Amino acid sequence: MKPLLDLRHLQLIQAIIETGRITDAAEKLGVTPSALSHRLREAERRLDVPLFTRMHKRLRKTPAAEHMAVVAERVLSDLSRAEEDVRRMNAGIQHVVRLSVEAYSNYRWLPSFIKFLKTRMAGVDIQIMAGARSDPLTSVLNRHIDIAVVSGTVAQAGLIGMPLFEDPLLYIMSPEHRLADREFVEGQDIVGEQFITYTKVPEPDREFARLFRPTDSYPTWAATVELPEAIVELVASDLGTSVLANWALQSVLAEGRVKGVRVTEEGISVPWCAVLRTEDTAEDDPILEVAELLSEWCATPGCGFHIT
């Protein structure tokens, strides 16, 4: 059965949703407004359902258009990645493995891992998908990425986690901060401190559950900043304190721009793992091989991740 819509129709739905106007969508797609209007009427005729309604000189999407936009994003994204894969094949690349790290955009470790990978596996290219860091598990399930490096344990249908390393959390502050000379901080030490976090969602193995809650001691929530690297800049300027992963802080700690101390006397260590789809764990699957080599590399001295 011939599909009702083609790629041009999917592109126009995306463009109209993004711009809200026929003229702007036409300019975005490089066609005339009359041609785009004709294409829209054709799509609605084929589907026998309205995709947009007009409101105050703008087009408002209907539930049908909203559904088709989700499909369009997936189809067009898959097509774009397929085109990139074909170009890589022409350059001798047989497999592309897409990877992202939860929350952090620190990839100073990547060149070292790629050099290690090339000594063990040929014809594989690593593509970093930094935009997936906010929800990496969903991105793995949706096939937007193949491997997610995440903290904590993973218990989700369709996914499997491969242990990589254990890493301590650090309480970070400016070098001039009153707590900068401590070896560790306890809950009562941070009461009233300006605290910047990238998420206020409590997790069972982090500072909320193991530092704040046990002693009923809480800082003053100064801001929620989703980019850890931006948090570091604010902390370095003495605009607050935070708790972040040790491995992602090594360069700024070495530069002396921030000071990091243990969280509690015993420390809070968090496991990190490589998450991939269960269906990609067959023998000789390149995604599984890359994940296994990443795990092996993380166990070697001098790798880019801090190993406790």
Q: pLDDT category, 87, cuts 50, 70, 90?
A: low
In the predicted structure, residue 307 carries a pLDDT above the cut 90: no
Q: What is the pLDDT of residue 88?
A: 64
| Topology agreement, domain 90-165+271-298 and domain 166-269 | yes
Name the fold adopted by 90-165+271-298.
Answer: D-Maltodextrin-Binding Protein; domain 2 (3.40.190)
What is the amino acid identity at position 183?
Answer: E
| pTM for the structure as a whole | 0.74
Q: pLDDT category, 150, cuts 50, 70, 90?
A: very high
Q: pLDDT category, 208, cuts 50, 70, 90?
A: confident
Look at 75-79, 111-115, 181-185 and tell me which has the smallest mean pLDDT: 75-79
Per-residue pLDDT, averaged over 84-100, amounts to 77
Q: What is the pLDDT of residue 308?
A: 46
Domain 7-79 is in which class? Answer: mainly alpha
CA-wise closest residue to 186 among 248, 261, 269:
261
Which positions ≥6 away from 96 have C-beta within 8 Å? Answer: 81, 84, 85, 88, 124, 125, 126, 127
Q: What angle do CA 254, 256, 258 make, to 5 degrees?
A: 110
Q: What is the pLDDT of residue 1?
A: 53
Q: What is the pLDDT of residue 161?
A: 96
292 within 8 A of 160, measured Cβ to Cβ: no
pLDDT in tens, 9-30: 888 998 999 999 999 999 999 9
Give the architecture (CATH level 2) of 166-269. 3-Layer(aba) Sandwich (3.40)
Q: Which two tokens stand for residue 119?
A: 């000594």
Percent of the chain with pLDDT over 90: 62
Q: What is the pLDDT of residue 111?
A: 94
Radius of gyration (C-alpha) of the chain in whole angstroms: 24
Domain boundaries defined on the chain: 7-79, 90-165+271-298, 166-269
